[in-house]
Amino acid sequence: MNTFYVVTNTQKDPEYKNADVIRKYLENKGKKCYVQKEEENTAKTYKYTNADKIPPDTECVLVLGGDGTLLQAARDLVRWKLPFFGINFGTLGYLSEMEFSDYPQALDKLCLGEFTVENRMMIEGDAYKGGRKVLSDLALNDVVIIRRGHLKIIDFDVYVDDSFLCSYRADGIIVATPTGSTGYSLSAGGPIVDPGASLMILTPVAPHTLTSRPVILPDNVTITIRLSGRMERQGADCAEAVFDGDTSLICGAGDYIKIRRSECSTQMVKTNRRSFVETLRSKMN
């Protein structure tokens, strides 16, 4: 690789010091490196990373920060089909390949071509209110339908390819990708899945029953989550649908979301030979 584009978390790197360290290191090796500045994020079609500012010769996007920064960049730049390399200076940084302190070794391998690229599936959801589609968005980690306001449970029905699966009374429900299996889904009791797998995970959040369990589904189905009519007494803003912890929509009784595998995907660069099991052990202690 010869040309890189750096996206940094400006809350943790407000003066671009870490980004400039990366840029100078690569330029000293004869490579080209561009750093996105916060003032470039003015296009309304993007949330955090302005894809229109990326030079056409870019070969890799270096994401400095934590998992949230990488998720945001992946969603904004998904149409460019560029590989991402995460350099963590957040907290857990499960999606990141390296800690910031290890950047020289990692960047050397990128420059020498000593890396592999993993393909990560994404999901997309269409949200409907009054039978009309009002929102479509992508997620690399998960789509979450969660209660709002006072401590009231929500009722919802789940369908798989239009076949009724079950009804839940819970605080919410998570539809996660394999990449997202180590995020909120895991905290809610969902299974850990190898990120290279192709499937979807359905995990209820604090279900009010002893028999509710996570469900693993193939990646070629459509999952529909419909808020039950029994929730009319709770009002039109009793729940919220959230894509990757970012884009959200207020929901009420009768509203529903259709979730399926997206044709888009995210490419993640790997420079170390640690297996999924080794990464799991080190990150999750």
Catalytic positions: 67
**Separation of alpha carbons 79 and 98, rounded Å:** 25
Query: Phi/psi of residue 12, each to 5°?
Result: -100, -15
Tokens of 230: 């029994």
Q: Strands 256-270, 83-88: parallel, antiparallel or unpaired by DSSP?
A: parallel
* DSSP SS3 for 94: coil
**Separation of alpha carbons 275 and 285, rounded Å:** 15
Q: Residue type for 274, please?
A: R
Whether 125 and 139 have beta carbons less than 8 Å apart is answered as: yes
Q: How many residues does the chain have?
A: 285
Q: Which helix (H) or strand (E) holds 284?
A: helix 276-284
Nearest-Å Rg of the Cα atoms of the chain is 20
Closest CA relative to residue 144, chosen from 182, 179, 171, 178: 171
Q: Give Cα separations from 162 to 222, 251, 252 (angstroms).
A: 8, 20, 20
Contacts of 53 (CB under 8 A, 6+ apart): 36, 40
Residue with tokens 């202690």: 285
Whether 145 and 258 have beta carbons less than 8 Å apart is answered as: no
Q: Give Cα separations from 261 to 55, 124, 141, 156 (angstroms).
A: 29, 6, 12, 21
